[in-house]
Amino acid sequence: MKKDIDSFGKYQFYIYILITLPLILSAGFTLDYVFTAGEVKYRCKIPECEDLDSASKLRGMSWLNNSQSLTENCKRYAVSSFKSETNCSAPGFFDHNKTEICNEWVYDPDEVTIHNEWDISCDSNRWKLTLIGTINNLGQLVGLTFASTLSDKYGRRTVLTSITFLTGISGLIHSFSVNYWMFVAFEFIDACFAAGIYSACFIYAMEMTGVEQRVVGSTFISCIYAVGEIWLGLVAKWTRNWRVLMRVIYGPGLLVIALMYLLPESVRWLLANDKRDRAEKVYRKMAKVNKLDISEEAFLELKNINDEKEKENGDAKKDTNKSEDESVVANSSPAKKAEPNITQIRHSPKILTRLLICSFCWLTNTFVYYGLSLNSTEFGQGDKYINFILVVAIEIPGNIFVYPLLNSIGRKATLCGAFVFSGVFCLLIQFVPSYGMWHWVALALYVCGKGCITMAFSTSYVYTTELFPTTLRHSLLGICSMTGRVGSILAPQTPLLAKYIYDGLPLLLFGAMSLTAGMLTLSFPETLGTKLPDTLEEAERIGQKDPDEKATSDHNGSSTLSPA
């Protein structure tokens, strides 16, 4: 009966439609700094030559080439001390052998970010723009540590609606920042609140969906997040003002509080926290909306099943405590010694190596994924908004195609191929000319690289879960995730590498890391069709043939893979 209620019907569809709003908003909350702290085109202001018309123009003045180099935005030629002309366009008006630092700048009048509002220009201040992205990801790191705990304690729906509402308030205050440091402070606060929105939506949706429909559900959630990124790019292109952009992005967050009354609490969270009466109401409504004919006896049976499960858990806990006490008496050693401990992997070189490679893969995923998104606005000669929209839109087919591949060619081939192709696409861009129609070829390679790293990211979630034992899975997955967060913290700094060292260096890094990760994944065992390992020993034997099974298969003249 429970399987029938959990099957995907109108009720589950209703839930997925309602959580699209916080999902779309979370994408804007996560990446809005790409445009709020983006660099605007600018040039030195030349007081000796400017007039009312030229003071708002970047190019087109006859004297511009005479006053400064076209490749330098922060230095200008000094006025010649021996000038005989009063016309700025005259050859002798500026001394081309002497330069001086600019004190004022002229910016693109069609765009407003914190760059031109607070004059954060030139090399000495460029770090202030890239710092915003790093602060955002640090805030997410801090926020994630609290979001999961609060979600487990107070409920999925409660935390989801509360943190989205608080992010909306914080973001609106953020949009009224009066100086750079106030902006930085609220960037951190926004990220702390917003960090748990996506995970809360994901967990809530999975807990309200049957096992067989969870793959489809997770794909839908990933695609909706990508729609949110596209929406961010479209709003940024339309507004072109960081204050207006933030108000459009964060304002709808206040509406999410209504979901507190429209969404039910997660039924599995209610059962896990002994709130059976509320869970039964949700189940009844679920059955009614999905038009399932469930008898009162069936609901009573469901309740009894949950009661029996709790009783079994309680009895198991008592038995465990009893056996631990007996063990203490018999062996005079603490019972806790038998508890799973992350330090166990020190005695398993295979699992330790697997953990190190998984951590590097997660670091590569986040570094390349966020790095390509951030650098898209500075890529090539095209419109930065169109570039960004194309680069994030590729995530939709990437997330859709990855799951059939996982179940056909396997986890190992999918992950390795995604990493390798992403690296190849990033490196090939270095050999494409930057002029004319070649720009579109380079952009196509760039978009394909982003699509492949998206597939690698999605695969890593599934694959990492299957490579580690149940007793240590959460802890080891946490290590990988924390390592991956380092990549997202470092990614916003990659534009500095392009400015100060070599403009193709970020793509070289993305390509090299992706290829390295792809080669390292060849050491992983294939997990397609195997059961999740429960112990360290089972995890070590993944992909290996069981000796007893091997003897049987040899005797029968056939070969069968071990389920472990």
What are 208-262's pLDDT values in tens digits?
776 667 677 878 888 999 999 999 999 999 999 999 999 999 999 999 999 998 9
* CA distance from start to end of the chain: 30
| Domain-located, residue 255 | yes
In the chain, how many domains are there? 3
The torsion of the CA quartet 443, 225, 241, 101, rounded to 10 degrees, works out to -50
| Domain-located, residue 328 | no
CB-based contacts of 156: which residues, under 8 Å, 6+ apart? Answer: 200, 203, 204, 207, 265, 266, 269
d(CA 248, CA 234): 11
Judge if 134 and 97 occupy the same domain: no
In the prediction, which pLDDT does 564 show? Answer: 31
Handedness of CA 213, 214, 219, 224 (dihedral sign): positive
Which DSSP state fits 112? B
Judge if 15 and 47 occupy the same domain: no
Q: What CATH number has the domain bearing residue 131?
A: 1.20.1250.20
Domain boundary among 294, 311, 339: 294
Judge if 217 and 352 occupy the same domain: no
| Domain-located, residue 19 | yes
Does position 277 have pLDDT exceeding 60, yes or no? yes
Judge if 4 and 55 occupy the same domain: no
**Across residues 400-408, what is the average pLDDT?**
87
| Domain-located, residue 524 | yes
Which DSSP state fits 56? G
pLDDT in tens, 514-563: 999 999 999 999 888 787 787 888 888 887 765 444 433 333 333 333 33
Does position 169 have pLDDT exceeding 80, yes or no? yes
Judge if 28 and 175 occupy the same domain: yes
Judge if 287 and 410 occupy the same domain: no
In the prediction, which pLDDT does 63 show? Answer: 75
Residue with the larger pLDDT of the pair 444 and 278: 444
Do 156 and 204 contact (CB within 8 A), yes or no? Answer: yes
Judge if 455 and 516 occupy the same domain: yes
Judge if 220 and 262 occupy the same domain: yes
d(CA 170, CA 526): 45
Judge if 440 and 487 occupy the same domain: yes
Judge if 243 and 367 occupy the same domain: no
Residue with the larger pLDDT of the pair 85 and 523: 523
In the prediction, which pLDDT does 212 show? Answer: 65
| Domain-located, residue 450 | yes
Do 416 and 521 contact (CB within 8 A), yes or no? Answer: yes
Task: State phi, psi for 426 to the nearest 5 degrees.
Answer: -65, -40
CB-based contacts of 208: which residues, under 8 Å, 6+ apart? Answer: 12, 15, 264, 266, 267, 268
| Domain-located, residue 190 | yes
Question: The domain containing residue 518 runs over which residues?
Answer: 347-543
In the prediction, which pLDDT does 291 show? Answer: 75
Judge if 101 and 184 occupy the same domain: no
Judge if 65 and 135 occupy the same domain: no
Count of other CB atoms within 10 angstroms of residue 235: 19
3-state secondary structure of 43: strand
| Domain-located, residue 168 | yes
